[in-house]
Amino acid sequence: MATRTKKKVEETEAAEEKAPAKKAAAKKKPAAKKKTAARKKTAARRRTKKGDEDELPSVEADAEEEATPRGKGPHYLVVVESPAKAKTIKKYLGSGYTVKASVGHVKDLPKSKMGVDVEHDFRPEYTVIKGKEKVLNELKKMAKSADRVFLATDPDREGEAIAWHIKEELAHPDALRVTFNEITKKAIQEAIAQPRQLNQDNYDSQQTRRILDRLVGYQISPLLWKKVRRGLSAGRVQSVAVRLIVEREDEIKAFVPVEYWTLDALLEGPSGPPPFKAKLSKLDGKKVELKERVFTESLVAELQTANFVVAKVDRRERRRNAPAPFITSKLQQEAANRLSFTAKKTMTLSQRLYEGVPLGDEGQTALITYMRTDSTRLSDDAVTQVREFIGGKYGKDFLPDEPMVYRSKKSAQDAHEAIRPTSLEYPPERVKPFFEAMGEEDMYRLYELIWNRFVACQMKPAVYDQTSADIAAGRATFRASGSTLKFAGYLAVYGAGLTPEEEAEKEKAKAAGDDNAAEGADAVGELPVLNDGDALNLQKLLHEQHFTQPPPRFSEATLVKELEERGIGRPSTYAAILSTIQDKKYVEKLEGRFRPTDLGNMTNEMLVKHFPHELDVTFTASMEEKLDQISEGGANWKAVLRDFYGPFKETLEKAEAEMRDVKREEIKTDIPCEKCGNLFVIKFGKMGHFLACSNYPDCKNTKDFKRDAEGKIVMVEEETTDEICEKCGKPMVIKRGRFGRFLACSGYPDCKTSKPISIGVSCPECKEGYLTERRSGRGKIFFGCNRYPDCKFAAWDRPLAEPCPTCASPYLLQKFSKRDGPYVACPNKECDYRREITEQPGGPGGSPEASSAA
């Protein structure tokens, strides 16, 4: 009601601001200000007549708030974290309020030292973050003229810590905490009306986490700098994440494939074609496993003459329940699976959706609730709204008799609601034009995913008609399954793809030997009409050899799932963990899957050996439980730190003395240097392990190497080229550096000529240089001009040396999408030229286009 009233007022005000009024305003600015004030007073009176006496007057989202109170009456300062959030909140508060952003944390432990006094009960030494002095001074200035300060930082433990530090710096006598799960008019005004004191337990919990991370990171990291390489880092959670990736890789390497066979019968029912498949399930009444070719082929020969008869037909309904609304980890997993987003991208976009995006005349509007949560709880108002929406759009058949309630995990803090749209007034189709105008298609896709999940969670289950038939053939029993969708239910909104939860259930069913449950998720299509005793016609027996597969490497989605299930970290930390372990080069992502680097393997081996307790998965999870207990008032934060630090200090001192010194380590080999005859030794450098002549520095010969299946060292020969060094005339070879491949003179170190490798495309920007393949600091390949930094052209997709046939752009781009695969497109956003990539004869290497697509 309040929203509609406000809209009418705005329409009335807009009607009054016609062209004559604008001309008058241009000539007489003071008069225009008086008219504006009069219109606001009129609007306030209109709202009062409508019965909105208890609501705070709304205020326009001005570019900047004045430092002094407007008009008479009390004045309040509201402090939030981000400018976007401040801009959204301004819409819902009256002229007596100033809303300002702290732009995140204002105080933290110093970067230059640990900042924790372990001798005096872990007393932290907080300092104002460099660059935040100006923000704090502005806040202090405004706080002096404010009757009350509302600390409205994010509603989690980190937000509580930020609020605590702001209160300390402002030193205002009346500073109170307000929290809200969504940035809507109702939520903001209810929060302002019910402020509270800061929560000491939440602050202590967050402070303990921060101190723990410092105790571990700022004492183990320097040890790694000393023993391995400067710039490395260790963390209470990040190092455990690396350990999971390393151990999965070890499982894959140690995996021994086991042969097995499957046997299917292609059968035709009494009604004739089309034929259908049935899978061998039992032999002599027992579950069968075909392990050998000889046995399988003898069974095939035996069954060729058998009579295939329907022994039993089972027809039943199978229900597929709607998934729970999103919590942070599930949002990250589904965004990775369905949208191919990284966890970092998902959290960045969802943060903006929470803080607010511009929606035309409605201004800055928050579209989702707080996105850091581990609770599936929904407010009564939200459930009522979505049930009305479902009934109106999809009909009563899609609406359960009672609202759906989902259980949160035992470890869930349950401080906030699940992630959902703030209002059903903003369906995806309504806001899509605004996202398109901003060029934020990915943000729209994420919002649509959150919207659909929320609506789906309050809809009826999907219903399938499932038919299973046991077919007797001699001493063998085959099983055929098929299903058809009888009632779409929530699938009408959310689509038929399996969610991570359903995938997990399916895997559990297979592991437990429950074939019926496992087949239920896979059964697709209809079976012909079958009845007990029907004779079937055997078309063909299909036997096929397989080998068991090793466990898959972690993707972002599956690693987040693993961390969540093991209780490592918290939803808000997953994106940062995944970014850090890649930034530090402990792992790399190839084809969407994490693999440990040489550095990651070695660092993990050393940390696990010398810090087995701290890097134990169960220890990390138990520490999260202790942090929860502190937040709930059930544990003393100093006692938790004392229990941890005593054993940790002893372990640290022991590691300092015993950890291998990789920097100075030289592992002898029996391989002679071809330049001077001395033996090579294995050293470790920025690019990992390499062979170096033991006669260094007199001989600076180095070689790359790898190990074969038996662990024997195999030289990696340098790639030769036809290009000649312009300085000494020797042939150029291809080498690898920290930023990717490059050309270097084979006469190194006598000749140190090097240059980037051209991809055969002239720079479209400077017209002088050529494009080369490079590698970013995080290891991602991109393409840039060889004249950098004079020319800063760069592209993530590989440019092709051919003009666009539509708009004459001097080059095209090779792109790849998860849905469509590789394709070629024009870099000009206004041009819609696009063509699919077809593999050339001879396989992926048949052409540059096919090769790059592969």
- Asked whether 824 and 800 are in contact (CB, 8 A), the reply is yes
- Asked whether 476 and 280 are in contact (CB, 8 A), the reply is yes
β-bridge mates for residue 816, sequence order: 822
Sequence-distant (≥ 6) Cβ neighbours of residue 511 within 8 angstroms:
none
β-bridge mates for residue 600, sequence order: none
Q: Determine if the peptide bond prior to 222 is cis (ω within 30°).
A: no
CA separation for the pair 507, 518 (Å, rounded)? 7
Query: To the nearest 10°, the Cα dihedral for 319, 324, 325, 329?
Result: -130
CA separation for the pair 2, 9 (Å, rounded)? 11
- Asked whether 198 and 159 are in contact (CB, 8 A), the reply is no
Residue-wise over 525-543: b if at least 16 C-beta within 10 A, else e?
eebbebeeebebebeebeb
Task: Supply 816's token pair.
Answer: 């790849």
Task: Supply 36's token pair.
Answer: 């504006």
Q: Distances from the Cα of 264 to the Cαs of 91, 122, 519, 666, 689, in angstroms?
A: 65, 67, 15, 57, 50
- Helices within 660-699 (DSSP H only): none
DSSP symbols for 147-202: SEEEE---SSHHHHHHHHHHHHHH--TTEEE---SS-SHHHHHHHHHS-B---HHH
Angle of the 598-610 helix axis to the 200-227 helix axis, nearest 10: 110
CA separation for the pair 753, 675 (Å, rounded)? 20
Interstrand relation of 123-124 and 116-117 (parallel, antiparallel or unpaired): antiparallel
Q: How many helices (H) and strands (E) does the chain have?
A: 24, 36
Strand, coil or helix: what is 445? helix
CA separation for the pair 96, 76 (Å, rounded)? 6
CA separation for the pair 233, 793 (Å, rounded)? 33
Other C-beta atoms lying within 10 Å of the C-beta of residue 756: 21
- Asked whether 769 and 759 are in contact (CB, 8 A), the reply is no
Q: Which residues are catalytic?
A: 370
CA separation for the pair 40, 43 (Å, rounded)? 5
The residue written with tokens 């074939």 in the block is: 515
Q: How many CA atoms lie within 13 A of 484 on its CB side?
A: 6
The distance of Cα 460 from the centroid of its chain, to the nearest Å, equals: 29
Q: Distances from the Cα of 649 to the Cαs of 240, 282, 614, in angstroms?
A: 19, 59, 11
Calculate ∠ Cα 28-34-35, nearest 5°: 90
Task: Supply 64's token pair.
Answer: 């900047």
Q: How many CA atoms lie within 13 A of 752 on its CB side?
A: 2
Angle of the 2-16 helix axis to the 29-49 helix axis, nearest 10: 150
Strand, coil or helix: what is 318? strand
Strand, coil or helix: what is 326? strand
Q: Distances from the Cα of 387 to the Cαs of 391, 421, 454, 458, 515, in angstroms?
A: 6, 14, 11, 7, 36
